[in-house]
Structure 1
């Protein structure tokens, strides 16, 4: 079952990417980052079909990944290397369909689709087979930050496209990039995000019992010192799901109406009561 879900997410992710590129990005001439942007640059000068260029880029990246990162990593890119160009060819007819006339709306829609596609693929623990491979190699060989290297590469690709793009294409392209990364991050943390409660209360022992015994939640107590009173006390730190926040806050104020509670968002939580520690996205078997 896990294997089916693994491949289903990768296939759906690559399909959404292909639809977004053929139906919205290429016809509108938006600037873009990553392998999409590199393919658009090559297509601008070489006038080759977009799917052909992407196939060439993916094959090159697959070979580099296989040589520098080994067989195991290369296999995670193999599916995308094959199916993404295939989906691009299958959906090429979408370039003739004018879905929306407003380029800004088209950019937002394209960003949403591409963000969903990238999020599904990366959440599975696989790779899109594009320009994310060189930064990974540089990180393993020289310790360079993957995110910083990818951002620098994207910056060069975007800046080069600006030299031959219209102001409208540039603005819409930057909107596309922003929406893509925003949606991708939301997809990658979907179902994993939670809320952290930091509770300062004079009734810390009763609060600990509330979380451990009544709410069946983990709680961590640690010593703090009040900045105004300069008195030592104990604070309680606990993690709860979003949907539980109202009921938990209600229970807290029933124990101590004067409790000071700070609520902050955490992107991912693993462990007892949440995603298991042994879970690894994209694991086949």
Structure 2
């Protein structure tokens, strides 16, 4: 790498403020998407999908469940992505937990169309994950695994997550006794979330870190 390239790379590094702002914005979008899907009785892919599934079965906040499910994956992320990755991942998961618990104090979603929730809620989760991924933060177990595989082998993070999403959705359908329409909307939500990463999170397209 030349001196000019080194200077250019350094100038593209995210500042602490940019990292904090990205984590805050990404977590807000992810929580809003989760709550919208929950209000419509839908499931999505990844740890978000597992958290939603368990929230229908257990008297616990979807945000708390989401954070607890992600704990085992932080070690994997730390070994492959470094200590800074783990610190930001822990902070992001704690923030999601707090936001999900505090959300009912600020607003309640009374009624939402299933297809609208799937498209908008899924997209919001996807954009939230994209923001976090761009700043080397993984909030979901599958998201962390996808980022590790992306860094190690160049695998597209969105496609990796989509495979995991399919497995989680298929497992959720019989447990929740989902009808055809509800299952279809849940699939739409997973595709909407993963689609954002497939289109916008590609090797070499983004050089900031």
Q: Residue 150 and residue 269 in structure 1: after superposition, are their counterparts in 2 closer, same or farther (change >3 A)?
A: closer
- Which of 107, 111, 118 lines up with 2:118 in the alignment? 107
Corresponding residue number in structure 1 for 2:92: 80
Is residue 2:38 matched to residue 1:17?
Answer: no
Deviation for aligned residue 1:11: 0.7
Corresponding residue number in structure 2 for 1:170: 183
Corresponding residue number in structure 1 for 2:49: 37
Contact 1:19 1:94 in 2 (8 A): no
Contact 1:62 1:81 in 2 (8 A): no
- Which of 147, 150, 156 lines up with 2:161 in the alignment? 150
Deviation for aligned residue 1:179: 2.0
Q: Residue 40 and residue 69 in structure 1: after superposition, are their counterparts in 2 closer, same or farther (change >3 A)?
A: same
Q: Deviations over 1:148-168 (max 9, x none)?
A: 653332221010112221222
Contiguous gaps of at least 5 residues in structure 2: 1-13
Deviation for aligned residue 1:44: 3.4
Is residue 2:208 matched to residue 1:280?
Answer: yes
Is residue 2:13 matched to residue 1:5?
Answer: no
Higher alpha-carbon Rg: 1
Q: TM-score, normalised by structure 2?
A: 0.75
The alignment of Structure 1 onto Structure 2 pairs a total of residues equal to: 193
Where 1:132 maps in the other structure, the secondary structure is: helix
Q: Deviations over 1:156-203 (max 9, x none)?
A: 1010112221222111111212222334455557xxxxxxxxxxxxxx
Deviation for aligned residue 1:51: 2.2
- Asked which structure has the greater RCO (Cα within 8 Å, sep 6+), the reply is 2
Q: What are the within-5 Å matches in structure 2 for residues 1-285 of structure 1?
A: 2-22=15-35, 24-66=36-78, 70-93=82-105, 96-98=108-110, 100=112, 102-135=113-146, 145=155, 147=157, 149-163=160-174, 164-185=177-198, 188=201, 279-281=207-209
Contact 1:119 1:185 in 2 (8 A): no
Q: TM-score, normalised by structure 1?
A: 0.57
Which consecutive segments of 4 or more residues in structure 1 shift more than 4 A?
A: 67-70, 135-141, 143-149, 184-189, 267-270
Contact 2:30 2:128 in 1 (8 A): yes
Q: Deviations over 1:240-272 (max 9, x none)?
A: xxxxxxxxxxxxxxxxxxxxxxxxxxx9668xx
Q: Residue 99 and residue 124 in structure 1: after superposition, are their counterparts in 2 closer, same or farther (change >3 A)?
A: farther
Where 1:15 maps in the other structure, the secondary structure is: helix
Higher strand share goes to which structure?
A: 1
